[in-house]
Protein backbone atom coordinates (compact mmCIF):
# COMPACT_ATOMS: atom_id res chain seq x y z
CA UNK A 1 0.00 0.00 0.00
CA UNK A 2 1.26 3.47 -0.85
CA UNK A 3 1.89 5.71 2.08
CA UNK A 4 0.33 9.11 2.57
CA UNK A 5 3.28 11.18 1.34
CA UNK A 6 3.39 9.40 -2.03
CA UNK A 7 -0.31 10.07 -2.61
CA UNK A 8 0.01 13.71 -1.47
CA UNK A 9 2.95 14.26 -3.85
CA UNK A 10 0.89 12.87 -6.74
CA UNK A 11 -1.91 15.34 -6.07
CA UNK A 12 0.53 18.23 -5.62
CA UNK A 13 1.82 17.53 -9.14
CA UNK A 14 -1.80 17.83 -10.33
CA UNK A 15 -2.14 21.29 -8.73
CA UNK A 16 -3.58 20.35 -5.32
CA UNK A 17 -1.04 22.43 -3.40
CA UNK A 18 -3.04 24.26 -0.73
CA UNK A 19 -2.53 23.23 2.88
CA UNK A 20 -5.64 23.24 5.07
CA UNK A 21 -6.50 23.07 8.73
CA UNK A 22 -9.80 23.07 10.62
CA UNK A 23 -10.27 26.25 12.67
CA UNK A 24 -13.59 27.19 14.32
CA UNK A 25 -15.34 24.36 12.43
CA UNK A 26 -14.23 25.76 9.08
CA UNK A 27 -11.61 24.60 6.61
CA UNK A 28 -8.89 27.25 6.43
CA UNK A 29 -6.36 27.62 3.62
CA UNK A 30 -3.22 28.24 5.65
CA UNK A 31 -1.62 30.38 2.92
CA UNK A 32 -4.51 32.70 2.04
CA UNK A 33 -6.31 32.47 5.43
CA UNK A 34 -9.63 32.03 3.60
CA UNK A 35 -12.17 29.89 5.43
CA UNK A 36 -14.71 27.47 3.98
CA UNK A 37 -17.81 25.82 5.41
CA UNK A 38 -18.65 22.18 4.64
CA UNK A 39 -21.01 23.44 1.90
CA UNK A 40 -18.20 25.43 0.22
CA UNK A 41 -16.01 22.45 -0.65
CA UNK A 42 -16.03 19.39 -2.87
CA UNK A 43 -14.22 16.20 -2.00
CA UNK A 44 -12.48 15.09 -5.19
CA UNK A 45 -11.01 11.93 -3.68
CA UNK A 46 -10.64 10.20 -0.35
CA UNK A 47 -7.87 7.76 0.61
CA UNK A 48 -7.84 5.61 3.75
CA UNK A 49 -4.71 4.45 5.52
CA UNK A 50 -4.85 1.91 8.36
CA UNK A 51 -2.46 2.02 11.29
CA UNK A 52 0.35 -0.52 11.08
CA UNK A 53 0.07 -1.73 14.67
CA UNK A 54 -3.65 -1.10 15.16
CA UNK A 55 -5.98 -1.23 12.14
CA UNK A 56 -8.67 0.72 14.04
CA UNK A 57 -6.31 3.71 14.04
CA UNK A 58 -6.48 5.19 10.60
CA UNK A 59 -6.06 8.38 8.70
CA UNK A 60 -8.07 9.78 5.83
CA UNK A 61 -6.57 11.92 3.12
CA UNK A 62 -9.12 14.26 1.57
CA UNK A 63 -8.43 15.89 -1.80
CA UNK A 64 -10.36 19.16 -1.75
CA UNK A 65 -11.56 21.73 -4.29
CA UNK A 66 -13.26 24.87 -2.96
CA UNK A 67 -15.87 27.18 -4.46
CA UNK A 68 -13.14 29.69 -5.37
CA UNK A 69 -10.82 27.03 -6.86
CA UNK A 70 -8.41 26.62 -3.96
CA UNK A 71 -7.18 23.03 -4.37
CA UNK A 72 -5.29 20.96 -1.85
CA UNK A 73 -5.21 18.06 0.56
CA UNK A 74 -5.80 17.54 4.25
CA UNK A 75 -4.85 14.48 6.29
CA UNK A 76 -7.26 13.62 9.10
CA UNK A 77 -6.28 11.20 11.84
CA UNK A 78 -9.30 9.15 12.82
CA UNK A 79 -9.99 6.67 15.58
CA UNK A 80 -13.55 5.31 15.65
CA UNK A 81 -13.67 5.52 19.45
CA UNK A 82 -12.76 9.21 19.46
CA UNK A 83 -14.18 12.32 17.86
CA UNK A 84 -12.11 15.07 16.37
CA UNK A 85 -12.88 18.52 15.00
CA UNK A 86 -11.50 17.49 11.62
CA UNK A 87 -13.57 14.32 11.39
CA UNK A 88 -16.67 16.23 12.53
CA UNK A 89 -16.14 18.85 9.81
CA UNK A 90 -15.90 16.28 7.02
CA UNK A 91 -19.00 14.45 8.28
CA UNK A 92 -20.90 17.71 7.67
CA UNK A 93 -19.89 17.92 3.99
CA UNK A 94 -23.05 17.17 1.95
CA UNK A 95 -22.99 13.79 0.21
CA UNK A 96 -23.56 15.45 -3.16
CA UNK A 97 -20.24 17.31 -2.65
CA UNK A 98 -18.30 14.02 -2.73
CA UNK A 99 -17.04 13.32 -6.24
CA UNK A 100 -15.07 10.18 -5.41
**What is the full per-residue pLDDT of the chain (100 aa) written as tens digits?**
458 899 999 999 999 999 999 999 999 999 999 999 999 999 999 998 877 666 667 888 999 999 999 999 999 887 665 557 888 899 999 999 999 6
Euclidean distance between CA atoms 25 and 51, whole angstroms: 26
Residues 6+ apart with CB under 8 A from 33: none
Please give the pLDDT value at position 37: 98
Euclidean distance between CA atoms 66 and 72, whole angstroms: 9
Closest by CA to 4, choosing from 64, 76, 70, is: 76
Sign, CA dihedral 65-83-58-92, equals: negative
Listing DSSP states for 11-36 in one string gives: HHHTT--EEEEEETTEEEETTT--EE
Q: Is the pTM of this model over 0.75?
A: yes
Give residue limits of the domains in the chain.
4-97
Please give the pLDDT value at position 84: 78
Please give the pLDDT value at position 12: 97
Please give the pLDDT value at position 85: 82
Amino acid sequence: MKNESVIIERYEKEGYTSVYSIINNQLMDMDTKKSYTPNDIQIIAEHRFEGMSNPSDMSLLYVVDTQDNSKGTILVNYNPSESSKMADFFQQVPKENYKS
